Amino acid sequence: MERPRILFVEDDDTIALGVIRSLQHAGYEVRHHDRAEYALDALTSWAPHLIVLDVMLPGISGLDMLRYLRQTDADTPVILLTARTEEGQRVDGLDAGADDYITKPFSLAELLARVRARLRTLHLGSKAGEIMRIGEAEVDMRKRLLRRDGVEERLTTHEAGVLNYLVENEGKDVTREELLEKVWGYAPTMQTRTVDNQILKLRKKIERTPGDPRHILTIHGVGYRFEP
């Protein structure tokens, strides 16, 4: 079985050593570079399943590398590493196409949880190769493309992850905490409206009447349920 490949870009040797060891111990194939220029060169001959990218790098910054990457690669998940004081850069990173971010200092357990979540979203379960009909919408889960009324739009990795998890648990109540843990890799105790926001976005793309949904239902006091 192929090991997931992770490209890790970080110029702090101490951080790099701990992260590389943890990722390798978890079963991942890891390549590390301390400059964005070297990492971009590596991408020409080695395709990672996921990239962990520090924002503050010598030479080309992590944000500039991300912007360059997204010109040709919209799908490879990217987790940004940022300092707590760099809120503006975290926002810029998400706007530039990052899938997630972790603030320094971070625990290795947290990083591994986020990596697992991103890779789980990338490999979208048993529905990954299917074209699904959900009401009037047609969803290609492998390409993360949704078509409705002749209009085609791409699902974000988080939208695809949420939809896939709900579909995999069709007819079952799924809690917000469960979605946070399985799709984002966040601790179930985290208080956030992230899940609710993603549900609203999915409903606008899938439901004919988002305010009165037929397929992605709210289960009050619990979470959500998917009905075909």
> Are 106 and 90 found together in one domain?
yes
**Mutual angle of helices 157-168 and 194-206, in 10-degree steps:** 80
Smallest Cα–Cα separation from 9: which of 57, 48, 43? 57
Tokens of 159: 């939208």
- DSSP H or E run through 184: none
Question: What value does the mean pLDDT take over residues 145-149?
Answer: 90
Question: What value does the mean pLDDT take over residues 217-221?
Answer: 94
pLDDT at position 95 is 75
> Are 79 and 148 found together in one domain?
no
> Are 10 and 117 found together in one domain?
yes
pLDDT digits (tens, 9 = 90+) for 67-77: 999 888 877 88
Tokens of 90: 């975290």
Tell whether the model's pLDDT for residue 91 goes beyond 80: no
More confident residue, 119 or 138: 138
> Are 162 and 185 found together in one domain?
yes
pLDDT at position 164 is 87
> Are 14 and 117 found together in one domain?
yes
% residues pLDDT > 70 (the chain)? 89
What one-letter code names the amino acid at 85? T
Residue 207: count of CB within 10 angstroms of its CB:
19
pLDDT at position 169 is 92
> Are 145 and 58 found together in one domain?
no
> Are 74 and 163 found together in one domain?
no
> Are 40 and 16 found together in one domain?
yes
Tokens of 65: 């590398």
Tell whether the model's pLDDT for residue 106 goes beyond 80: yes
Domain of residue 90, CATH code? 3.40.50.2300
Which structural domain range is residue 28 located in? 5-122
**Confidence class for position 8, pLDDT limits 50, 70, 90:** very high
Tell whether the model's pLDDT for residue 94 goes beyond 80: no
Beta bridge partners of 79: 52, 100
> Are 82 and 134 found together in one domain?
no
Domain of residue 172, CATH code? 1.10.10.10
> Are 118 and 9 found together in one domain?
yes
Give me the number of domains the chain comprises.
Answer: 2
Which of 122, 155, 172 delimits the end of a domain? 122
- How would you classify the pairing of strands 174-175 and 78-83? unpaired
Question: What value does the mean pLDDT take over residues 178-203?
Answer: 78
Tell whether the model's pLDDT for residue 128 goes beyond 80: no
Tell whether the model's pLDDT for residue 89 goes beyond 60: yes
- Nearest-angstrom CA–CA distance, 193 and 77: 22
Which of 106, 122, 138 delimits the end of a domain? 122
Tell whether the model's pLDDT for residue 122 goes beyond 60: yes
Strand, coil or helix: 223: strand
Question: What value does the mean pLDDT take over residues 46-71?
Answer: 93
> Are 104 and 139 found together in one domain?
no
pLDDT digits (tens, 9 = 90+) for 18-34: 999 999 999 999 999 99
- How would you classify the pairing of strands 5-9 and 50-54? parallel
pTM of the model: 0.64
**Confidence class for position 192, pLDDT limits 50, 70, 90:** low
Which of 122, 148, 179 delimits the end of a domain? 122
> Are 67 and 30 found together in one domain?
yes
Strand, coil or helix: 16: helix
Maximum alpha-carbon separation in the chain: 53
The answer to whether residues 122 and 144 touch, using CB atoms and an 8 Å cutoff, is no
Tokens of 29: 């194939």
Place of tokens 């194939």: 29
